[in-house]
Amino acid sequence: MTNNGSDARIEVIDLVVRYGDVLAVQGVGFAIQPGELVTLLGPSGCGKTTTLRSIAGLEDPVGGTIRLNGAVAYSAAERTNLPAEKRGLSMVFQSYAIWPHMTVAENVAYGLKVRRLPRAEVEANVRRVLDLVQMTTYADRPASKLSGGQQQRIAVARAIAFSPNVLLFDEPLSNLDAKLRAEMRVELRELQRRLDITALYVTHDQEEALAISDRVIVMNHGRIEQIGSPEQVYNRPCSLFVADFVGAANLITGEMLSPPDGDGRVAFVTEGGVKLQAHDWQKVAGTRLQTAPTGATKTGTTKAGERTVALHSAYIRLEPVNGADGAGVAHVAGRAGAMNLSYGTIHRRMFHGDFIQYVVDWPAGQLIVRRPPTEMIAENQKVRIQFAAEHCVLL
């Protein structure tokens, strides 16, 4: 066992996992510090679950290194691959994996009994964690008679019962209905903070990833696209893929009128001739942590010099204007770095309850805009469109 002196709980270096001819994970690396909750986010088949399972010791990687609490758990070079039971971490499975032939208490006690703890200690711990997940009254029920949400709680209780310092979550909420999912999200985060557990969490739900994480790792095609705080990943996506996957941004194509200045400011003209001020955040140090090789996520053929600007739908303001007022003419506001201004027409309005989604026709095509339900605008109404330059992220 080597200890490289790093105090990271989980350290993954150049991990490669292969399924037959398919490279499911191709050179993934990251480190998770004590007490952090980090999410692996990506579409199905992006390698996030395979990465998690490799850390748990449930896959046989073909390359790289995995260190847990500083000790080597897997190393291609040293030819070591610790079996799952020797890694001392814990995991919540997507299917919950509640053993149907045991009672709730027996399920929770499993990891404690395996560790041959004295009976009193086992019972005390079972009571403690069942209390934490508010399932104390269910202790003696057969585990097969539980609802999905209850099974989920038991799975969490079982995973934390033997006080592991690293906890893995494999899409733990994906089998719950939307309301319960939102509640459990809060509870899980609360629990992780309270017990000060280091957690790695896999999900394909970007909303969940943003809400629950200290940091988000966006994955695609077995590679990492971006690592950053939820705000960084949302506000400053560094690839077309991240911009599209996290928060579904408007992707506006056009050309740069000038190279970015020292602060990353760029003058940009869209396909329909709208002049914008955008920001090249990748010029600004500290934003771009890691990206896929250039062009890996570009879709379709791009004309020479064509660039894309990402603009989240929530950052666009709409104001009804009278028919004559500047119809169809777009211009950039004079003040540098301030607001972009244009005009358009509401094409379609969809009421979602928590927000209203508008499809707005404007000279550069169509914009998706989300506004609070208080800002109701009629279809076919002319609107003034405003958005800040810093939210126009040049990709």
Partner 1 sequence: MSGQVTALPGKVCAKLGVGGLLMAMVLLLCGALVIYPVVFLVAESLNTGEPGVFPPPEMSLSNFAAIGEDIGVIGDTLLVAALATVMAVTMGFVLAWILSRTNIVGRAKLERLMELPYYMTPLVGAMAWGILAGPKTGLLNQLWHLAGGGGDLFDIYTPLGIAWVMALFEGTVAFVMISAAMKSMDPALEESSRVLGAGKLHTMLHVTLPLVAPGVASAAVFVFAEMLGAFAAAFVLGIPGRFYVVTTAIWQSTQSYPPEYGRAAALGLSLFAAMVITLTFSKLILRRGSHATITGKAFRPRRIDAGSARWLLLAIAWGYVLLAVVLPVGALLLTSFQKFATVVLSDSIFTLANYQTALSTGTLGQAFVNSLILGLSVASIGVPLIGVLTWIIYRSRLPGGVFIEYVAMFPQAVPRLVFGLGLLWAWINIPIPIYGTLWLLGIAYFTVFLPLGLRTMAGVIMQVDRSLEECARVCGASWAHQMRTISLPLLRPGLAAAWLLILIASIRELGASIFLMGPQSKVVSPAIINAWLTSSSELSAAMAMLLTGTVFAGVLLLFLFARNFSPNQE
Give the interface with partner 1 as residue ranges (CB under 8 A): 18-22, 56-58, 60-62, 76, 79-81, 83-85, 87-91, 93-95, 97, 99-101, 110-111, 114-115, 144, 158, 162, 168
Would you say 57 or 222 has its CB closer to partner 1?
Answer: 57
Q: Give the 3-state DSSP-derived string for the chain, with helices as H, strands as E and coil as C.
A: CCCCCCCCCEEEEEEEEEECCEEEEEEEEEEECCCCEEEEECCCCCCHHHHHHHHHCCCCCCEEEEEECCEEEEECCCCEECCHHHCCCEEECCCCCCCCCCEHHHHHHHHHHHCCCCHHHHHHHHHHHHHHCCCHHHCCCEHHHCCHHHHHHHHHHHHHHCCCCEEEEECCCCCCCHHHHHHHHHHHHHHHHHHCCEEEEEECCHHHHHHHCCEEEEEECCEEEEEECHHHHHHCCCCHHHHHHCCCCEEEEEEECCCCCCCCEEEEEECCCCEEEEECHHHCCCCCCCCCCCCCCCCCCCCCCEEEEEECHHHCEEEECCCCCCCCCCEECCCCCCEEEEEEEEEEEEECCCCEEEEEEECCEEEEEEECCCCCCCCCCEEEEEEEHHHCEEC
Q: Min. distance of Cβ 90 from partner 1 in angstroms?
A: 6
Would you say 102 or 314 has its CB closer to partner 1?
Answer: 102
Would you say 99 or 355 has its CB closer to partner 1?
Answer: 99
Would you say 58 or 338 has its CB closer to partner 1?
Answer: 58
Would you say 57 or 344 has its CB closer to partner 1?
Answer: 57
Q: Min. distance of Cβ 154 from partner 1 in angstroms?
A: 11
Would you say 81 or 357 has its CB closer to partner 1?
Answer: 81
Q: Min. distance of Cβ 41 from partner 1 in angstroms?
A: 21
Q: Min. distance of Cβ 85 from partner 1 in angstroms?
A: 5
Q: Min. distance of Cβ 187 from partner 1 in angstroms?
A: 20
Q: Min. distance of Cβ 273 from partner 1 in angstroms?
A: 46
